[in-house]
Amino acid sequence: MNELTEGPRRSKLTFVASRDSTDRVEVDQLRRVREPVSRSKSGVQGKVADVVSGRSRHAESQNELRAFQILLASGHADAWQEQPFVLEYHHDGKRHRYTPDILVAWGADREVVEIKEDSEAGKPDNRARFALVRDLLSEHGYPFRIWTRSEIYAEPRLANVGLVLRYRCVDVPAVEREKIRRAFSSGAELTLHAVSETQGMTAPAVLRLVFDGILHIDWWEPLRLDSRVSGTPIGRQIWPVPPGCRLREERCH
């Protein structure tokens, strides 16, 4: 393991990388800066199988567990790491340490994420603290956001995520993959029912490609047989989605 630091600024970031690096901090090379702990009195803790990176993601709460599932199914990030670094800073004469919940990367775009209960996020002390954290992280070039429980548990996206994750290990043969590619070329849209009625294509294979980010569904409409599947993003593009999708959504408003 190799410890990396960023500074000097008003604060210091400390990362733990899986191998030596003297240049840019690569998110896919990072490791947790501390062991998982339970934040719940009932000891709630869980793991999410990340088939893309080939490892398990350790969640410290039910909120984190659901958030990780959403990132896996619909975020299509190039890399992300839980407990990614320690931010050290001084404020009001005291030394402080802060570890965010997630660092997400889409290409060169990176975002630091704190997962919080709505009631906790709204407390004046926490709002002031996170405003300072946001300013400090911006000096290092990292945007910061708070991802609240109400946003994470918003339906029907969460239910759709659960359905799509069931198909993350489906094997799609090359012949079927090519047939699906041709069917959705030139911006075509098909329903899952139409897919299931087409020889050589199956709904499980299509949903596996949705998981891979090759095909797209509207995450904000209940996933059923009459649901549309498209070769390009459709529906509201609400975080976490790649920056390009967010820009399209902003231009539409």
Domain boundary among the residues 101, 118, 152 is at: 152
Per DSSP, the residues of 130-184 read HHHHHHHHHHTT--EEEEEHHHHT-TTHHHHHHHHHTTTT----HHHHHHHHHHT
Q: Give the pTM.
A: 0.89
Domain boundary among the residues 136, 152, 168 is at: 152
Task: Output the pLDDT for position 186.
Answer: 76
10 and 82 in a single domain? The answer is yes
The DSSP secondary-structure symbol of 53 reads: T
CA distances from 19 to 16, 22, 23, 74, 206 (A): 9, 10, 12, 29, 37
Nearest to 250 by CA among 239, 234, 237, 240: 237
23 and 94 in a single domain? The answer is yes
Domain count for the chain, please give it. 2
CATH code (residue 34): 3.40.1350.10
3-state secondary structure of 115: strand
111 and 200 in a single domain? The answer is no
Task: Output the pLDDT for position 201.
Answer: 96
The tokens for 66 are 């659901």
Task: Output the pLDDT for position 245.
Answer: 74
Per-residue pLDDT of the chain (253 residues; tens, 9 = 90+): 456 666 657 899 999 987 665 556 789 888 888 776 655 554 456 889 999 888 899 899 999 999 999 999 999 999 999 999 999 999 988 999 999 999 999 999 999 999 999 999 999 999 999 999 999 999 999 999 999 999 999 999 999 999 999 999 999 999 999 999 999 987 789 999 999 999 999 999 999 999 999 999 999 999 999 999 999 999 999 999 888 776 555 444 3
Task: Output the pLDDT for position 187.
Answer: 76
Task: Output the pLDDT for position 20.
Answer: 60
Structural domain that includes position 55: 2-152
Which residue matches tokens 């020889």? Answer: 199
178 and 248 in a single domain? The answer is yes
